[in-house]
Homo-oligomer: A and B are copies of this chain.
Amino acid sequence: MKVLTVERKVLKKNDDIAAENRARFAAANLTVLNLLSSPGAGKTTLLERTLEKLAGRYRLAVVEGDVQTDNDARRIARYNVPVVQVITRGGCHLEADLVQDAVANFNLEELDLLFIENVGNLVCPANYDLGEAWKVVIISTTEGEDKPLKYPPMFRVAQVCVINKIDLLPYVDFNLSRAREYARGIQPDLQFFELSARTGEGLDAWIDWLENLIRQNPPDSGSTRKPGIEKQQ
Contacts and interface: CB of A to CB of B under 8 A. Distances in A.
Nearest to A92: B123
A120 B147 CA distance: 10
Interface in A37-66: 38-41, 66
Interface residues of A, number: 45
A121 interface: yes
Contacts of A146: 69, 71
B68 A124 contact: no
Contact of A149 (B68, B165, B171): B68
Contact of A168 (B7, B91, B120, B168): B168
Contacts of A142: 40, 140, 142, 165, 168
A45 B71 CA distance: 31
A119 interface: yes
Contacts of A173: 198
Contacts of A127: 90
Contacts of A122: 38-39, 120-121
A164 to B, nearest CB: 10
Contacts of A140: 40, 142
A39 B151 contact: yes
10 contacts: A3-B10, A38-B38, A39-B151, A66-B150, A67-B151, A68-B150, A71-B146, A71-B149, A92-B121, A167-B171
Given A41-B143, A69-B146, 13 more contacts: A39-B122, A39-B143, A39-B151, A40-B143, A68-B149, A71-B150, A92-B124, A120-B151, A121-B122, A124-B124, A140-B142, A168-B168, A171-B171
